[in-house]
Amino acid sequence: MLTITRSFQFCAGHRLYRPDWDQAKNLEVFGLCSNPAGHGHNYGLEVSVTGPLDQETGMIMNLRQLKEVVTQRVVADVDHKNLNVDVPWMRGIIPTTEQFAEQIWTRIASLLQQIAPQVILEEIVLHETPNNRVRKQRS
Q: Is 80 among the residues known to form the active site? A: yes
* Parallel, antiparallel or unpaired: strands 2-14 and 81-82: parallel
Q: Is 98 among the residues known to form the active site? A: no
- CA proximity to 112, closest of 74, 59, 65, 64: 65
Within 13 A of 20's CA, how many CA atoms are on the CB side? 3
Question: Of the listed 28, 68, 80, 98, which one is catalytic?
Answer: 80
- Where residue 100 falls (left for φ over 0; alpha for ψ -120 to 50; beta otherwise) is alpha
Question: Of the listed 33, 102, 122, 123, which one is catalytic?
Answer: 33
Q: Is 33 among the residues known to form the active site? A: yes
State the Cα–Cα distance between residues 83 and 21, nearest whole angstrom: 19
- Give exposure, 11-35, as e/b (b: 16+ Cβ within 10 Å): ebbbbbbeeeeeeeebeeebeebbe
**Both ends of the chain: CA-CA distance in Å?**
17
**Any idea which residues carry the catalytic annotation?**
33, 80, 128
